[in-house]
Structure 1
Amino acid sequence: MRAEEEQEAEDLAIVRALQILRGRLREGPVFSRPDEVKDFLRLQAQGLAHEVFAVMFLDAQHRLIGYERLFRGTLTQTSVYPREVVKEALARNAAAVILHHNHPSGLCEPSSADYALTRDLKSALALVEVRVLDHVITSDLGALSMAERGVV
């Protein structure tokens, strides 16, 4: 009988922990200023010697649902597949996203490929009514918001 009681107590603890986690995700931070987003994203890729492409998934009030590194690349490039980005946005029921990748070289200036990728992802996500709010490029030295440049 004692083992059954312990099992029941553990099951209740697990259920309560999951409820707490769900509540925290629903009440996640709201990113309302570009500098908050840039600081958050710089921390996510600080010190990496390779490129990563990641996405901040946001709800309709721009609260963070999750941040996910979707693709890993080399020192100078990362292959990104729009289909996979759309699938993740739908799986998380995101209303909006902020795209992110890093430049290990230290320079945050977008390349022509970065502009093309932003355009392609914006088009693909628009088909499923997910807004692209920004595409931020970070390095250990700084961050650049493509929305602040009028690209997004």
Structure 2
Amino acid sequence: MAIGDWPRGEGPREKLHLHGPGVLSDAELLAVVLRTGRRGLSALGLACALLERAGDLAGVLAMDAAALEAEPGIGSAKVAQLQAAVELARRSVEQQLRRGNVMSSPRHTRRFLQHHLASRSREVFTCLFLDSQHRLLRCEDLFLGTLDGAAVYPREVAVRALQHRAAAVILAHNHPSGVAEPSHADRRITERLQAGLGLLDIRVLDHVIVGRGEAFSFAEQGLL
């Protein structure tokens, strides 16, 4: 059943129009994006099935295109709709970061990094390069890894920072396992990067680890 075929007053789309998106459940919001269900299952039913399969909304958005299309009722069009929704959210937050001082809004920074990294099925190491006023110059994914980790080379981070004339950086990577707690290797590479970039007078302002629905900040935990 399509969203538009729901009885008056009962559909997620009408509920959104009447009360705003904030009152909708994860399943209802997902149903609005999916728009239609499949034979014998409404859009909301399909959304509930996806959430049950993936564990939660973050799990759904972390599924790659092949895994999504393997789900009954999810074709390439629905996959494109989901990917577009995630990318719109990521770009919106990135544009907010570019308009001001990144460190004046750590919440926006974490939101951007969660949008940027949470859906990746492999570990990705990202750097936010900042100018002397802590404005965002560039966001780059520098190292791609496996399910278990990504090799990080401090020399390459330093080279990219110098190329962008960065005065500071924020480091970030995701844990595909969903657990945001730093490992011993995470702590060690942070220390190495902080020491190496410090020799170039480039400050490491934070290292953010993105898990499923959560993020760990080295700076907030007093580890920098």
TM over 0.5: yes
User: For residues 161 and 143 of structure 2, what CA distance do their matches in structure 1 show?
Assistant: 15
Q: Residue 29 of structure 1: CA displacement? A: 3.5
The structure with more helix, counted as a fraction of residues: 2
Name the amino acid aligned to 2:141. R
- Partner residue of 2:213 out of 141, 147, 152: 141
Question: Are 1:29 and 2:100 counterparts?
Answer: yes
Root-mean-square deviation over aligned CA pairs: 1.3
Name the amino acid aligned to 1:136. V
Which residue does the alignment assign to 1:131?
203
User: For residues 29 and 57 of structure 1, what CA distance do their matches in structure 2 show?
Assistant: 14
Which residue does the alignment assign to 2:187?
115
Q: Which blocks of at least 5 consecutive residues in structure 1 are unaligned? A: 1-23
Paired positions, count: 127
Matches within 5 A, 1:28-107: 28-31=99-102, 32-107=104-179
Name the amino acid aligned to 1:104. P
More deviation, 27-36/77-86: 27-36
Q: Is the 8 A contact 2:180 2:212 kept in 1?
A: no
Name the amino acid aligned to 1:148. E
The one-character-per-residue Cα deviations of 1:10-61 (angstroms, maximum 9, x if unpaired) are xxxxxxxxxxxxxx9xx64321132121111111113111000010000011
Q: Which blocks of at least 5 consecutive residues in structure 2 are unaligned? A: 1-94
More deviation, 139-148/49-58: 139-148
The structure with more strand, counted as a fraction of residues: 1
Name the amino acid aligned to 1:30. N
TM-score, scaled relative to structure 1: 0.80
Q: Is the 8 A contact 1:28 1:65 kept in 2?
A: no
- Which segments of structure 1 move beyond 4 Å, counting only runs of 4 or more? none
User: For residues 29 and 72 of structure 1, what CA distance do their matches in structure 2 show?
Assistant: 29
Q: Is the 8 A contact 1:99 1:136 kept in 2?
A: yes
**Percent identity over the alignment?**
48
Name the amino acid aligned to 1:108. A
Q: Is the 8 A contact 1:54 1:100 kept in 2?
A: yes
- 1:88 alignment partner, SS class: helix
Which residue does the alignment assign to 2:223?
151
Q: Is the 8 A contact 2:123 2:146 kept in 1?
A: yes
Which residue does the alignment assign to 2:82?
none
Which residue does the alignment assign to 2:56?
none
User: For residues 51 and 29 of structure 1, what CA distance do their matches in structure 2 show?
Assistant: 28
The one-character-per-residue Cα deviations of 1:48-99 (angstroms, maximum 9, x if unpaired) are 1100001000001110000000000001111000000000000000000000
TM-score, scaled relative to structure 2: 0.55
Query: Which structure has the larger Rg?
Result: 2
